[in-house]
Amino acid sequence: MGDAAGHGATGNRRQALLINQEHARLLDLGRAQHLLAAHHEVHELMLAEAPLGEVLTRLVRGIERHADGMIGTVLLFDAETRTLGHCAAPSLPRSYVEGIDGSVVGPEVGSCGAAAYHGREVIVDDIEHDPRWRAFRQLARDHSLRACWSAPVLDASGEVLGTFALYYDAPRKPSAGELRLIRQSSRLAAVAIERHRVHAELKRLATRDTLTGLPNRALLVDRLTQALARSQRTGSEIAVVFCDLDDFKLVNDSLGHELGDWVLREVAGRLAAAVRPGDTVARFGGDEFVVVADGITAGGALRLAQRLHGALDAPFVHPASGEHAVGTTLGIALADAGVSAEEAIRRADNALYDAKRAGVPTRVYSHELHQRANERLKLHGELRRALAREQLRLLYQPVFDLASDRVVAFEALMRWDNPQLGSVSPARFIPAAEQTGLIVELGEWALRTAAAQARRWAEQGTPVTVAVNLSARQLLDPELPARVERALAATELSAELLIVEVTETALLDHDVLAARSLAALAALGVHIALDDFGTGYSSFGRLRRLPIDAIKIDREFVAGLGVDPDANAIVTAIVGLARGLDLLVTAEGVETPEQLELLREQGVTHVQGFHLGRPQDPAAAGALLRRDGAHGPS
């Protein structure tokens, strides 16, 4: 009987152990399922570019679903002040959150403060008796919090980003599975925080001039566009003041770029101090700045110009090199109702040009300048006749693959030879065509001509993709997909040999309509490249949603490589973004061997520019193809 009883007790213990093990296994499985669900939700929110607080709140709620009584929180660490700030705590009482918000980290600042201080997990199973909670014990007691397990949220280099913690209303030690849950949750929080910071930095780089901290050209146009829209409703006037530093090149060339950068920062500070609150001061590029003043009269604009001149009249005193005088010339345009931001800036720039030509400090856009606009109308008429008279032609600039040094594509570039005007620059006639709507006809001609040429090369045994630029007006044309389809059908060109290039600015200005056109083109099998990338401020989520195959780094940033740290940073960011989206990257405007090598080091895969090959006629381009890349990069 005794043996039977002993065997029975042993069997019961074994059965209880098996039950406990199965219970633990099921708990771990439940935790894994909840974490997987939270992981999925968090990544969906990150891709949708939801605010960081919303992303981390969803993470915490997903973890809290695991067990009753579990309360989660994420705090963010401020390295400058060494404090922890509230980010996500959906189930903690507001009064408790306010009590710990802004706490300076330290070894006895609760579980989270200690975890951030030491950079490791801090498990407190009973707040009531743990010395690390001495300063916050009464606060925890008032809110019925008895246990707190905290893990630091660390970035890839081990730096503290914040903390993830779980609270309970009774003393409790974590199981091995619960410890894994805390660690996995803190890692997921780290991914969300790091992604948010990278995106914020990309956005800052895209909208701010990193040398001066001022808005850059893209943000300037955005703000001016909004101001012009308000002025149409309110009838208020807007002044656009274009500022150019007269003697800056002398300072930069004779004393070096470091001092030149210092002068630009000083100029930015003085201009910002001279304008009214609410006015915008932007760095337009190089030594050019633009001021936008909303709700101002003509007299007020002139007084503003006087203040700007006064701000820059005093010499700039550098601690090492002494005094430096830098003059400035201003052009002012009072924006009319209905004028675009680009046109308002162009008018101010025209006034500036006129002031420099006349040798005066300030010029206001006037009727005389309006006469030049009439000359543009004449240009429009000549351009309209150019199509019928076959004055237009396409040249083809080669695009090289850096891995093989071979031609992989050509970009078709339009040229106009007019008997009276001579060779007219695209920078002059393309905007004119855009303004009149003639760009749609020119664009269709370019599509058909480029497609026909690509078909001929394919028939000759040298198939190559050809890129054709699309303007903003073409993107808004509802017939665009049909026009492209007709061009492909008429020339019997395979869609995979055609690339359409759209500028980032055009895409941003007409988001919904452009996306619709691009989706239709992608459905045809046409490749799509985003041109002049970096001049706007496309978001990660927007790019992900568009059927884009490649991005082209704007020549402005290529020109700055090795010279301007901002350009290096932006190119690095663009290449990283492209890799994350699995996009090809082409750098345009490569003019020196040094730029080519820097782009190669950055991981850029395709390049084009005068250093590699100028735009050329079809015969020369065909010869280059037959030589199979003999004139590629070196």
The DSSP secondary structure of 152-163, one letter per residue, reads: EEE-TTS-EEEE
User: Model confidence over 307-336: pLDDT tens digits?
Assistant: 999 999 888 888 877 787 788 999 999 987
Q: What is the 3-class SS of 557-613, one letter each residue?
A: HHHHCCCCHHHHHHHHHHHHHHHHHCCEEEECCCCCHHHHHHHHHHCCCEECCCCCC
pLDDT number for residue 610: 93
Structure tokens at 330: 């201003």
Contact 369, 352 (CB under 8 A): no
Residue 357 has pLDDT above 80, yes or no: no
**HSE of 102 in the Cβ direction (CA atoms, 13 Å)?**
2
pLDDT at 26: 42
Tokens of 545: 């949603």
Separation between Cα atoms, residue 269 and residue 151, nearest integer Å? 43
pLDDT tens-digit profile of 373-409? 567 667 778 888 888 888 899 999 999 999 888 999 9
Kindly state the tokens that stand for 450.
Answer: 């480029």
Q: How far apart are CA 46 and CA 194, in angstroms?
A: 11
Length of the chain: 634
- For residue 31, pLDDT beyond 60: no
Does 97 score more than 90 pLDDT? Answer: yes
- Residue 60: CB partners within 8 Å, gap ≥ 6? 72, 73, 74, 88, 89, 90, 91
Helices (H), 48-123: 52-64, 94-100, 110-118
Q: Which of 397, 564, 604, 616 is nearest to 596 (CA)?
A: 604
Whole-number percent of the chain with pLDDT over 70: 88
Note the pLDDT tens digit of each residue in 449-485. 999 999 999 999 999 999 999 987 888 788 899 999 9
Tell me which DSSP letter residue 325 carries.
Answer: -
Read off the pLDDT of each residue in 562-588 and give the average, rounded to a whole number: 87
pLDDT in tens, 516-546: 889 999 999 999 998 877 665 555 666 777 8
Q: Which of 583, 611, 585 is nearest to 597 (CA)?
A: 611
**pLDDT reported for residue 186:** 94
Q: Identify the residue whose tokens are 């001039």.
A: 209
The answer to whether residue 150 scores a pLDDT higher than 90 is yes
Alpha-carbon distance values, 53 to 179, 200, 243 (Å)? 24, 14, 41
Phi, psi of 359 (to 5 degrees): 70, 30
Contact 238, 334 (CB under 8 A): yes
Query: Is 70 exceeded by the pLDDT of residue 435?
Result: no
For domain 2-192, give the fold. Answer: Beta-Lactamase (3.30.450)
Q: Which two tokens stand for residue 116?
A: 């951030």
**What pLDDT is recorded for position 630?**
36
* Strands of the sheet with 362-364, listed across from one edge: 280-285, 288-294, 238-245, 328-335, 362-364
More confidently predicted of 624 and 510: 624
User: Which pLDDT tens digit goes with each residue over 196-247?
Assistant: 888 887 877 788 898 999 999 989 999 999 999 888 888 788 999 999 998 7
- Residue 18 pLDDT: 46
* Surface-to-core class of residue 620, CB atoms within 10 Å of its CB (0-12 exposed, 13-18 middle, 19+ buried): middle
What was the pLDDT predicted at 253?
63
User: Sign of the C-alpha dihedral, residues 502, 508, 510, 515?
Assistant: positive
Please compute the mean of the pLDDT values over residues 428-443 and round it to a whole number: 81
Query: Is the pLDDT confidence value at 190 over 80?
Result: yes
**Residue matched to tokens 């922890």:** 84
DSSP, collapsed to helix, strand or coil, labels residue 392 as strand
Half-sphere exposure of 77 (CA within 13 A, CB side): 26
In the chain, ranges of CATH 3.30.70.270 domains:
217-365
54-89 pLDDT, tens digit each: 999 999 998 888 777 899 999 999 999 999 999 999
- The domain made up of 375-626 has a fold known as TIM Barrel (3.20.20)
Instruction: Quickly state the pLDDT bin for 5 (edges 50, 70, 90).
Output: low
pLDDT band at 149 (very low <50, low <70, confident <90, very high): very high
Each residue's pLDDT tens digit, 492-503: 999 999 999 988
Q: What is the pLDDT of residue 16?
A: 46
pLDDT for residue 8 is more than 60: no
Check: CB of residue 330 under 8 Å from CB of residue 355.
Answer: yes
Q: Give the whole-angstrom CA distance, residue 303 versus residue 276.
A: 12
Of 371-380, 508-517, 568-577, 609-618, least confident by mean pLDDT is 371-380
Nearest to 418 by CA among 445, 389, 394: 389
Cα 570 from Cα 525, distance rounded (Å): 31
| Contact of 113 with 105, CB cutoff 8 Å | yes
Give the mean pLDDT of the chain: 86
- pLDDT above 80: residue 53: yes
- Please determine, for residue 280, whether its predicted confidence score (pLDDT) is greater than 80: yes
CB distance 264 to 312 below 8 Å: no
- pLDDT at position 372 is 61
Longest dimension (CA), the chain: 122
Based on the number of CB atoms within 10 Å of its own CB, is 347 exposed (0-12), middle (13-18) or buried (19 or more)? buried
Q: Which two tokens stand for residue 276?
A: 């009214």
Domain span(s) for CATH 3.30.450.40 in the chain:
2-192
Q: What is the CATH number of domain 217-365?
A: 3.30.70.270
The count of C-alpha atoms lying within 13 angstroms of the C-alpha of 138, restricted to the half-sphere facing its C-beta, is: 1
- The ranges of the chain annotated as CATH 3.20.20.450 are 375-626
110-133 pLDDT, tens digit each: 999 999 999 999 999 999 999 999
